[in-house]
Structure 1
Amino acid sequence: MFRRTFWFTTGVAAGVWATTKVNRKLKQLTPEHLATQAANKAIEAGHRLKDRAVGFALDVRDNMAQREAELGEALGIEANPDRLPELPAPRRVAAIENSNTPKYSRNSRYVDSSSYPYNRNEDH
């Protein structure tokens, strides 16, 4: 009698276990659950991609700084981040105009060059 009770209990437990497993699997295959899973996987993939892109950008910046230092050392330029490079002096306006250059009037239209000694279009 104990043997029959044992096998009956074992069968009931196996049936409950199998029913639970099947119900879980059916819930995972519902459209709502599949859409939620797809959205979660897309978000995770986006985070992984962002982390890789940030890592890549940091690597590029580090290698760029290293290469700048190497070039500065090779060219004899000292890189001092506290001191900005000096700007070139502003260009001065010529006090005397060159007589060979074409003249422009005040309204920026080209003045007839026939009155000047050099006319590059006279041969055409």
Structure 2
Amino acid sequence: MFRRAFWFTAGAAAGVWATTKVNRKLRQLTPESLAAQAANKAIETGHRLKDFALDVRSGMAQREAELGDALGIEGPADRGLPAQRRRAALENHKHHKKHYEMLDEKRSYNRNEDH
């Protein structure tokens, strides 16, 4: 009698355990769960890439400083555009802005014009 009760209990426990495992795996394979897992992996990868880029940037700055010291060159004070190129860029921007303003003036906004 005890033997049958033991095996009955063991079988029921194994069935509950297997059912729980299967249901858990099925929940992991739903589209929503897969999308959430993919999003988490993408975020983790983005953080790793950002950390890598920051490490590379700091290593580059350190090596540049070492080379500057070795060669007796001081680093550039301003990394902006030189004055001539900056002026040209601003003039080019003004030219494009005027061009688009002229196009806007030529456009007619009459809705009935096409009909």
Normalised-by-shorter TM-score class: 0.5 to 0.7
Task: Answer 1 or 2: which has greater helix percent.
Answer: 2
TM-score w.r.t. the length of structure 2 is 0.63
Task: Tell me the percent identity.
Answer: 64
Whole-angstrom distance in 2 between the partners of 1:2 and 1:67: 83
> C-alpha displacement at 1:60, in angstroms?
0.3
State how 1:43-82 maps to structure 2 within 5 Å: 43-72=43-72
Partner of 1:35: helix, strand, or coil? helix
The structure with the largest alpha-carbon Rg is 1
Structure 1 unaligned blocks of 5 or more: 85-124
Runs (4+) off by over 3 Å = none
The one-letter amino acid paired with 2:16 is V
How far apart, CA to CA, are the structure 2 residues paired with 1:49 and 1:3? 60
| Aligned residue in 2 for 1:24 | 24
**Aligned partner of 2:64: which letter?**
M
The higher-RCO structure (CA 8 Å, 6+ apart) is 1
TM-score by length of 1: 0.59
Alpha-carbon distance in structure 2 between the residues aligned to 1:47 and 1:33: 21
Distance 1:6 1:14 in 2: 12
Unaligned stretches of 5+ residues in structure 2:
78-115
Count of aligned pairs between the two proteins:
76
Once residues 6 and 61 of structure 1 are traced to their aligned partners in structure 2, the CA distance between those partners, rounded to angstroms, is 71
